[in-house]
Amino acid sequence: MADGRLCAKLGLTMKLIYRDQTWELKGKITVRDALKKVGLRPEAVLAVRDGKLITEDVLAGQDDVIRLIAVVSGG
């Protein structure tokens, strides 16, 4: 989780929220790269921004809040 608090200096950060963890990432990167950065398998989660499901090629950054939903759950 060293990447977790990379920096919030410029205020241009993306927030990733997964279960009880939150990461802040700087710059504009794809959802896929963001997931890799924080050590999550892109296949294992779905990404939701502003209540809408987005694909992993979407460029995110600049105050985007991305909620991650585990694919495997429930019985």
Partner 1 sequence: MKCTKCGQPAVINMRQHRLGLCADHFVEWVPQQVQRAIEKYDMFTPEDRVLIAVSGGKDSLSLWDILLRLGYSVEGIYINLGIPHDSYSDVSQQKVEAFAAAHDTPFRVVNVKREYGESIPEVARRKRGRSPCSTCGLVKRHILNEVTLREGFGVLATGHNLDDEAAVLFQNSLHWATGYLARQAPVLPASHAGLARKVKPLIRLYEREMAAYALVRGIDYIYEECPFSRGATTLFYKELLDQLEAESPGAKQQYYLEFLRARADGRLLPADAGKPVLNQCQKCGQPTTAPGTCSFCRLWDVEEAAHEDSNGDS
Residues that bind partner 1 in the complex, under the rule CB under 8 A: 41-44, 46, 48, 52-58, 69-75
Question: CB of residue 29 vs partner 1: minimum separation in angstroms?
Answer: 16
Question: Where does 1-75 show beta strands of DSSP type E?
Answer: 13-18, 21-26, 29-30, 45-49, 52-54, 59-60, 65-70
Question: CB of residue 40 vs partner 1: minimum separation in angstroms?
Answer: 12
CB closer to partner 1, 11 vs 75: 75
- Cα 57 to Cα 44: distance, rounded to the nearest angstrom: 15
Question: CB of residue 5 vs partner 1: minimum separation in angstroms?
Answer: 26
